[in-house]
């Protein structure tokens, strides 16, 4: 208790009139998908990504803000269901709570799912956490004809309760008032307690002073028995305080918490609150048990106490829920004339989750999204064309103007060819990128993406992934780097690595300009289908790679997939807009920085020869860049991309895939159609760009998430896949142009080869592995396989 009291009184009473000097630290805790980040954004006026999906936040994010002259630092913690040590997020949040480096916790709960949400609240109350309960989405609940009596809840739980709607920003300021109120109370309590402790110390000193001379009595008062008694007394008081003073949790009386806590007390160096440790012992929490390091005798005593309960974990959970149910009965009311809560959702689910319709419908929706984004006469394309027209106009006029004022040729070349022709070639794709992100975030926000995850889970299970991967993979269509970050919330490490492996095969928005530019030049009218084909090719390769990975060390066991299904929600315009804006901003920044510098460097290198002589575009072949590209182009010769321009474009693409388009725009000033001679080369280039290594940002993120070794392996796999598939496309294409029969023959040959490659390891492991081994994953067969 001393430690708690020792915490400096956060506010100086003397400063009441001026701004408070101290900063309060608040923690935001709640279940997954209850709107923590929405509340976080609403309180701190920031723009973190939110989604109708769990696990969007996977790290502690902190931000400062002010409320009524008080400074706050709010920590957004990952969503958790319980304070066990099941996943990384739970451990993060639990340690945060245990370290007590906060002044107050805002426990945000979903009004529509109060019972399950209160379970976490109960666990925090058991820990004696100083908290305020924010019942979120109270507006949604009310619209279903239900209501929560917050006063009642307050009385029952013994903590301040307030109904808010983080989404509509309603009553959020009242929540903060409540927090401030609670903090003030705590501060004055702490001051009083500190004063009391001070008085007590003085008294002891005083007594010591008196008895110091006479001796006898003081010595007897410090005899070991007396000390022991005193300690027991102190412990009881602490326990009482921990368990019952702050919050009333009557269900704990039904369990032998006190008895277990008495046993734990024997531990001299018990750092955890004893009542909570006792609860965790009943819960058989591994972490806490390891920390307690109980002796055999203690273990026996505990098991004697808990044995009448049967499974003490189940009993604890049951008692918590029974208590919650009682709380719910008195605090929750339903108007009887209103429709049933899930009625609307049930109707939609019957169609969306239909056994036969679900997957075709998903594909159809994706195709519709693509039509909307890439189709001719669709908003995305139209705005794109308008932008291109503007840039073309600017280019022509500027060129004319620059020649008019007789500026040197290199200035005109830099402005028109490099800046407008290169970086400007990418910018018009903004509307399409916006459209795609818009579609993705609407799908995410409505809760449809979760349904897709559920639908595809069985399918993905076959290749060692789970429904959670779907989310990350779909995010991969937006931006690979962000998508890889979302894998952090995955519990199974091998599934996580595998998902991160596959994400780069999902064609990200940065590759989109490549497709659109090339398709615009070669496949007029068929753009949406060709582009959709590219995306499908990426998915197909991802599936193939994951099937292969299943045969390696990354083979995952059957996992348990447990995921909450969010209710359908009408997407909030503000939220969708903020997601789209974040990505738009990052796209513009990327074009302005990375792509721009790549283009300028490329221009420099392509406009000057080794002897630093300026060359105009017709003599580009003599430039530094050309000679470097000519040296390296042999690498790409076997896959039909052996011109120095393409070589340079591909290499610059590593900085950011948009750079491919910019570089091509710069190096083929007469247009891409002229530079890339045949549709076949165009397709080959698209395929190669789809598959080869992702941009640097993605690589860095990947390294952070799954480690350097796996990143390296992933990059090598991608290069190999890109090379192999592109070579295949190229040579099949070439053969087809020579003779159709030859092409078909080659395809057949490759099919047979692939089959043999898949079949061969099977034969191999069947011999090597122990026969009848379920799933072929036991330690003995692994050893055997390695030895071979």
Q: Which residues bind another protein (CB under 8 A)?
A: 81-82, 84-86, 112-116, 119, 283-284, 286, 311, 313-314, 317-318, 321, 340-342, 346, 349, 353, 355-356, 358-359, 450, 453-455, 457-459, 461, 466-467, 558-565, 567
If we measure between CA atoms, which residue out of 322, 313, 245, 326 comes closest to residue 279?
313
C-beta closer to another protein: residue 338 or 382: 338
What is the rounded distance in angstroms from the CA atom of residue 40 to the CA atom of residue 273? 29
C-beta closer to another protein: residue 6 or 347: 347
If we measure between CA atoms, which residue out of 570, 756, 619, 503 comes closest to residue 167?
570
Show the tokens assigned to 623. 């430039």
Residue 550 beta carbon to another protein: minimum distance, rounded to whole angstroms: 16
Residue 80 beta carbon to another protein: minimum distance, rounded to whole angstroms: 10
Handedness of CA 376, 360, 476, 435 (dihedral sign): positive
Residue 501 beta carbon to another protein: minimum distance, rounded to whole angstroms: 22
C-beta closer to another protein: residue 145 or 621: 145
C-beta closer to another protein: residue 437 or 448: 448
Asked if 685 contacts 676 with a C-beta cutoff of 8 angstroms, the reply is: yes
If we measure between CA atoms, which residue out of 464, 452, 663 comes closest to residue 554?
464
Residue 433 beta carbon to another protein: minimum distance, rounded to whole angstroms: 31
DSSP 105: E
C-beta closer to another protein: residue 341 or 551: 341
Residue 137 beta carbon to another protein: minimum distance, rounded to whole angstroms: 13
Residue 340 beta carbon to another protein: minimum distance, rounded to whole angstroms: 5
Residue 255 beta carbon to another protein: minimum distance, rounded to whole angstroms: 14
C-beta closer to another protein: residue 459 or 753: 459
Element (H, E) at 25: strand 23-30
What is the rounded distance in angstroms from the CA atom of residue 265 to the CA atom of residue 515? 68
Asked if 727 contacts 677 with a C-beta cutoff of 8 angstroms, the reply is: no
Task: State the DSSP string of 131-164.
Answer: EEEEEE-HHHHHHTTEEE-HHHHHHHHTS-EEE-
Asked if 675 contacts 664 with a C-beta cutoff of 8 angstroms, the reply is: yes
What phi and psi values does residue 55 have, to the nearest 5 degrees?
75, 25
Q: How distant is the alpha carbon of residue 747 from its chain centre?
A: 41
Question: For the purposes of burial, counting CB atoms within 10 Å of the CB of 179, is it exposed (0-12), middle (13-18) or buried (19 or more)?
Answer: buried
Residue 261 beta carbon to another protein: minimum distance, rounded to whole angstroms: 21
User: What are the residues whose beta carbons fall under 8 Å from the beta carbon of 314, sequence distance 6 or more?
Assistant: none
Q: How distant is the alpha carbon of residue 625 from its chain centre?
A: 40
C-beta closer to another protein: residue 72 or 471: 471
C-beta closer to another protein: residue 455 or 579: 455
Residue 564 beta carbon to another protein: minimum distance, rounded to whole angstroms: 6
CA distances from 395 to 401, 402, 616 (A): 10, 10, 17
CA distances from 297 to 95, 263, 264, 281 (A): 29, 10, 12, 15
Q: At 560, is the secondary structure helix, strand, or coil? A: coil
C-beta closer to another protein: residue 228 or 346: 346
If we measure between CA atoms, which residue out of 479, 482, 454, 460 comes closest to residue 542?
460
Show the tokens assigned to 386. 């308008």
C-beta closer to another protein: residue 91 or 624: 91
Furthest-apart CA atoms within the chain: distance in Å: 116
What is the rounded distance in angstroms from the CA atom of residue 719 to the CA atom of residue 233? 69
Residue 306 beta carbon to another protein: minimum distance, rounded to whole angstroms: 14
Terminal alpha carbon distance of the chain: 61
C-beta closer to another protein: residue 570 or 771: 570
What is the rounded distance in angstroms from the CA atom of residue 142 to the CA atom of residue 582? 32
What is the rounded distance in angstroms from the CA atom of residue 561 to the CA atom of residue 453? 11
C-beta closer to another protein: residue 241 or 341: 341
Residue 662 beta carbon to another protein: minimum distance, rounded to whole angstroms: 43
What is the rounded distance in angstroms from the CA atom of residue 645 to the CA atom of residue 711? 28
Residue 462 beta carbon to another protein: minimum distance, rounded to whole angstroms: 8
What is the rounded distance in angstroms from the CA atom of residue 164 to the CA atom of residue 134? 6
C-beta closer to another protein: residue 340 or 585: 340
What is the rounded distance in angstroms from the CA atom of residue 730 to the CA atom of residue 723? 10
Residue 245 beta carbon to another protein: minimum distance, rounded to whole angstroms: 26
What is the rounded distance in angstroms from the CA atom of residue 172 to the CA atom of residue 163? 9
Buried b (16+ CB within 10 A) or exposed e, 310-334: eebeebbeebbbebbeebbeebbee
C-beta closer to another protein: residue 48 or 287: 287
C-beta closer to another protein: residue 424 or 467: 467
Asked if 580 contacts 442 with a C-beta cutoff of 8 angstroms, the reply is: no
Asked if 706 contacts 492 with a C-beta cutoff of 8 angstroms, the reply is: no
C-beta closer to another protein: residue 566 or 571: 566
C-beta closer to another protein: residue 344 or 585: 344
Residue 93 beta carbon to another protein: minimum distance, rounded to whole angstroms: 14
C-beta closer to another protein: residue 33 or 662: 33
Residue 458 beta carbon to another protein: minimum distance, rounded to whole angstroms: 3
Residue 765 beta carbon to another protein: minimum distance, rounded to whole angstroms: 24
DSSP β-ladder status, 70-76 and 131-136: unpaired
Residue 354 beta carbon to another protein: minimum distance, rounded to whole angstroms: 9
Q: How distant is the alpha carbon of residue 422 from its chain centre?
A: 33
Buried b (16+ CB within 10 A) or exposed e, 118-132: bbbbbbbbbbbbbbb
Element (H, E) at 72: strand 70-76
Residue 60 beta carbon to another protein: minimum distance, rounded to whole angstroms: 22
């Amino acid at each position: 208790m001393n430690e708690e009291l020792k915490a400096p009184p956060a506010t100086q009473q003397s400063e009441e009139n001026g701004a408070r000097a101290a900063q309060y630290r608040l923690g935001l805790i709640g279940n997954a998908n209850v709107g923590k980040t929405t509340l976080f954004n609403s309180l701190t006026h920031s723009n973190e990504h939110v989604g109708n999906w769990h696990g969007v936040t996977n790290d502690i994010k902190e931000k400062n803000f002010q409320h009524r002259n008080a400074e706050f630092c709010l920590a957004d913690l990952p969503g958790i269901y319980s304070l066990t040590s099941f996943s990384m997020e739970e451990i993060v949040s639990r340690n945060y709570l245990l370290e007590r480096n906060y002044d107050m916790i805002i426990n945000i709960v979903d009004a529509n799912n109060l019972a399950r949400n209160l379970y976490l609240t109960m666990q925090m109350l058991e820990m004696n956490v100083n908290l305020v309960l924010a019942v979120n989405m109270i507006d949604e609940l009310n619209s279903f004809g239900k209501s929560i009596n917050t006063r009642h809840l307050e009385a029952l739980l013994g903590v301040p309760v307030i109904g808010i709607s983080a989404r509509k920003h309603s009553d959020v300021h009242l929540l903060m008032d409540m927090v401030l109120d609670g903090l003030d109370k705590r501060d004055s309590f702490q001051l009083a307690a500190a004063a009391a402790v001070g008085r007590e110390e003085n008294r002891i000193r005083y007594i010591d002073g008196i008895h110091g001379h006479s001796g006898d009595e003081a010595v007897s008062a410090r005899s070991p028995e007396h000390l022991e008694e005193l300690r027991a007394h102190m412990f009881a008081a602490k326990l009482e305080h921990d368990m019952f003073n702050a919050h009333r949790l009557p269900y704990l009386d039904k369990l032998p918490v006190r008895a277990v806590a008495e046993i734990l007390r024997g531990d001299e160096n018990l750092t955890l609150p004893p009542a909570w440790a006792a609860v965790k012992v009943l819960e058989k929490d591994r972490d806490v048990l390891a920390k307690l390091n109980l002796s055999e005798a203690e273990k026996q005593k505990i098991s004697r106490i808990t044995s009448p309960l049967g499974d003490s974990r189940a009993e604890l959970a049951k008692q918590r829920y029974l208590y919650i149910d009682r709380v719910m009965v008195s605090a929750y009311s339903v108007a009887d004339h209103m429709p049933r809560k899930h009625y609307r959702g049930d109707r939609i689910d019957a169609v969306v989750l239909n056994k036969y319709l679900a997957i075709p419908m998903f594909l159809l929706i994706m195709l519709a999204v693509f039509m909307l984004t890439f189709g001719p006469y669709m908003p995305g394309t139209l705005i794109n064309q308008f932008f291109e027209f503007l840039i073309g106009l600017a280019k022509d006029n500027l060129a004319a103007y620059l020649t008019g004022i007789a500026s040197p040729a290199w200035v005109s070349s830099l402005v028109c060819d490099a800046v407008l022709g290169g970086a400007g070639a990418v910018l018009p794709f903004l509307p399409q990128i916006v459209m795609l992100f818009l579609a993705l975030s609407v799908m995410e926000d409505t809760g449809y993406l979760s349904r897709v995850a559920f639908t595809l889970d069985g399918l993905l299970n076959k290749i060692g992934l789970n429904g959670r991967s779907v989310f990350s993979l779909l995010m991969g269509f937006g931006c690979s780097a962000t998508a890889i970050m979302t894998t952090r919330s995955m519990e199974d490490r091998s599934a996580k690595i595998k998902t991160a492996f596959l994400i780069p095969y999902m064609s990200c928005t940065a590759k989109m300009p490549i497709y659109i530019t090339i398709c615009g030049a070669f496949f007029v009218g068929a753009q949406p289908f060709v582009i959709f084909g590219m995306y499908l090719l990426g998915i197909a390769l991802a599936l193939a790679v994951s099937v292969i990975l299943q045969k390696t060390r990354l083979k995952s066991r059957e996992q348990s997939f447990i995921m909450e299904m969010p209710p359908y929600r009408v997407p909030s315009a503000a939220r969708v807009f903020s997601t789209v804006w974040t990505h738009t901003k990052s796209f513009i920044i990327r074009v302005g920085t990375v792509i721009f510098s790549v283009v300028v460097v490329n221009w420099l290198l392509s406009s000057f020869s080794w002897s630093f002589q300026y060359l105009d575009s017709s003599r580009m072949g003599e430039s530094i860049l050309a000679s470097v590209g000519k040296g390296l182009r042999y690498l790409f010769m076997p896959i039909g991309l052996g011109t120095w321009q393409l070589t340079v474009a591909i290499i610059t693409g590593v900085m950011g895939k948009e750079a491919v388009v910019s570089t091509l725009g710069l190096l083929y000033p007469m247009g891409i159609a002229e530079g890339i001679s045949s549709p076949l080369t165009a397709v080959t280039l698209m395929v190669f760009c789809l598959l080869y290594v992702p941009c640097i940002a993605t690589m860095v993120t990947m390294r952070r998430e799954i480690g350097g070794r796996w990143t390296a392996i992933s990059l090598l796999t991608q290069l190999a896949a890109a090379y192999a598939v592109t070579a295949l496309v190229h040579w099949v294409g070439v053969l087809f142009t020579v003779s159709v029969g030859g092409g078909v023959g080659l395809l057949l040959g490759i099919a047979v080869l692939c089959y043999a490659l898949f079949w061969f390891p099977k034969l191999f492991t069947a011999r090597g592995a122990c026969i009848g081994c379920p799933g072929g994953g036991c330690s003995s067969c692994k050893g055997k396989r390695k030895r071979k």
